[in-house]
Amino acid sequence: MAKTIIAKFNGGRAHWRLWLLGLIPALTALALTAGCESIYPFPEQGGASGTNATEVITLREGDVLKISFPANANLNTVQTIRRDGMISMPLVGELKAAGKTPKELEQDLSNAYSTQLLSKEVTVEVQSSTFPIYVSGAVLRPGKVVFDHPVTVLEAIMEAGGPDYTKANLKSVTVTRLEKGQFKTYTLNVKLMLEGKQSSPFYLKPSDIVKVPERLWY
């Protein structure tokens, strides 16, 4: 009888052990997911917030484009997107470029030249692109900073002269961004980035506003 009770107890303990072993991975995944969402609002973008360096490009005013027609080299041209978002192409005139991806513009060009060319193949290459980031608060040179390459929040702060260490609160740096007609704000611990304790960068998007707040006490 005693052996039967012990056997049942051991069986129950094994059952609970198996149940806990199955529960632990689920709880761990839930905790990691919650942690990622609080620090990285866009985990699908290469594991870091903001813009991934390889994210699909959206063309903007000021971008310099190399437009090539492989079968009609005489139409090859280099165009700068004007402030009204337009480019001027031989034979077809004005086309909207800003706000489109290179692939979308290629399709528009192919359609525009469809009645004039035997081959509709067109390639659009971005030769250079600049965009503004606005840095405010406890930095040495607040204001607009212009970049021509993907940039992280830490790089933007450094380009603004770096933080004013006498009063900057680097644990609560905010990035405000216009998304789908609404402003969203993300809070980042830049102190961890400076200390090398956070390896995933936060990439900024054009016209993001970075604010380094001041500490409440000195």
Q: Please give the class, per CATH, of domain 64-128.
A: alpha beta
* Tens-digit pLDDT profile for residues 81-100: 998 999 999 999 999 999 99
Residue 150 pLDDT > 90, yes or no? Answer: no
Give every CB contact of residue 210 below 8 A, 6+ residues apart in sequence.
133, 134, 135, 136, 153, 156, 157, 160, 173, 174, 175, 204
d(CA 96, CA 114): 17
Question: Which of 181, 183, 81, 88 minimizes the C-alpha distance to 131?
Answer: 81
Share of the chain above pLDDT 70, in %: 74
Same fold, 64-128 and 131-212: no
CATH fold of 131-212: Outer membrane lipoprotein wza fold like (3.10.560)
Q: How confident is the model at residue 218 (pLDDT cuts 50, 70, 90)?
A: low
* Tens-digit pLDDT profile for residues 169-201: 999 999 999 988 899 999 999 999 999 887 788
Residue 46 pLDDT > 60, yes or no? Answer: no
d(CA 43, CA 30): 14
Which residue ranges make up each domain of the chain?
Answer: 64-128, 131-212
Q: How confident is the model at residue 50 (pLDDT cuts 50, 70, 90)?
A: low
pLDDT of residue 92: 93
